[in-house]
Amino acid sequence: MAKKKTKFVCQDCGYESAKWMGKCPGCQEWNTMVEEMEAVAKQSSRSYVTSSTTTTKPQPLSKVVGDREPRIDTTIQELNRVLGGGIVPGSLVLVGGDPGIGKSTLLLQLSAKLAAKNEKVLYISGEESIKQTKLRADRLGMISPELYVLAETDLQFIQHAIEEVEPSLVIIDSIQTVYQDDITSAPGSVAQVRECTAAFMKIAKTKGIAIFIVGHVTKQGSIAGPKLLEHMVDSVLYFEGERHHTYRILRAVKNRFGSTNEMGIFEMKEAGLEEVLNPSEIFLEERSQGASGSVVVASMEGTRPVLVELQALISPAGYGNPRRMATGMDHNRVSLLMAVLEKRVGLLLQNQDAYLKVAGGVKLDEPAIDLAIALSIASSFKDKPTQSMDAAIGEVGLTGEIRRVSRIDQRVNEAAKLGFKRVIIPEKNLGGWTVPPGIEVIGVPTLEKAIEVVLGG
């Protein structure tokens, strides 16, 4: 059978060429020519039918009957939370993360959990042999007769295996190893990844099979391959964490069937990944007592409140331009809050180096952490420690006012549950909800008043 014709198309300007060129003649950019299959014009076998039962005819949305299938419970609460309540049948989910972070371990555990519920699962590994996968499954204690394993990278054989097994869930590990014979480029190229993902998407939608595909990441942390890959799938999950630490964070950056603000936390152990059901205790367990520059904030990660420690170190600048470094938070937000502290509170920070960090490796990006950042900076600058049982919540405006935040009752309840005695919140958030027993809630109108309450002036 003859190979399908291919062409090389510039990904920036769309210039087409019969052969590969390092520099595009159209836009003069380098390394933008990517191999693609030529579209062959053919006569469509479909004919437009004017019958009222046809699906090709436009229909009023109000008359469309939606079939809502129940989600598949993974029995892993943290994964259910990130997915929006479980796996949607017929969905295509992309899982990305650094090498060795635990992607394959998580998906093998997911496969075993579903297989234990008599759900057929097909685990396709393109990077390991069947024996290697078996060794890893033995180590994790994940053996089930409903879990099928296949070591294959040819798309046609994979499609045949899916038709033969008829599973409820398919795991592709990884998409960069799968190839299609019709395309002459190597596995992992832009054309191969795009076409193979499109084939898996068609299988998922037509057969109602949920498919998880693993994607490698680049040095910049983004998923390797075309950006179109993330647009094609229904959900994109990122597995984050330091390989030298035991905690892993699973985030959804795209989810057609749930929230993109949810976060799942796991701990890597010898027997696999274990769920962390109360992450606030994890993030606060190594907190120093009586140290300046440390403030606890109650942040919302989707529908879950999480207490996290913010740390600041303010020291005199040794050179002309002071340094501003932030880990786990927006660098520009730190500069903005330092300007507000200098202008509205009178702290001379223009000749000070500032180093800020969110303890535990979590990333925070909501406005409610502004007050805690500002208090940690003021605490370190004045070298006055905050009380260990204090927490701060609030958004800081450019005029120094403390603005209201959402879900204040859930945040305060989480602080009370962990034994905190006092919470500083925006004055506008007082009233309209019940304060839990055993905790004092103080409303502050301005940043200057908040610093006076926490640091005593």
Residue ranges of the binding site for ATP: 97-104
Q: Provide φ and ψ at 318, rounded to 5°.
A: -85, -15
Burial class (CB in 10 A: 0-12, 13-18, 19+), 332: exposed
Cα gap 215→94, rounded to integer Å: 7
Sheet holding 33-37, edge to edge: 16-17, 6-10, 33-37
Question: Omega of the bond prior to 380 within 30 degrees of 0, cis?
Answer: no
Closest CA to 313 of 342, 371, 355, 347: 355
Known binding site: residues?
Answer: 97-104
CA 328 to chain centre: 14
Token pair for 257: 């069937």
Cβ atoms 314, 293 nearer than 8 A: yes
The Cβ of residue 185 has, within 10 Å, a number of other Cβ atoms equal to 19
Closest CA to 201 of 170, 227, 223, 179: 170
Please give the DSSP secondary-structure letter assigned to residue 85: S
The Cβ of residue 365 has, within 10 Å, a number of other Cβ atoms equal to 11
The Cβ of residue 39 has, within 10 Å, a number of other Cβ atoms equal to 9
Cβ atoms 347, 378 nearer than 8 A: yes
Residue with tokens 């405006």: 397
Cβ atoms 96, 223 nearer than 8 A: yes
Dihedral of the alpha carbons of 309, 217, 112, 263, in degrees to the nearest 10: 30
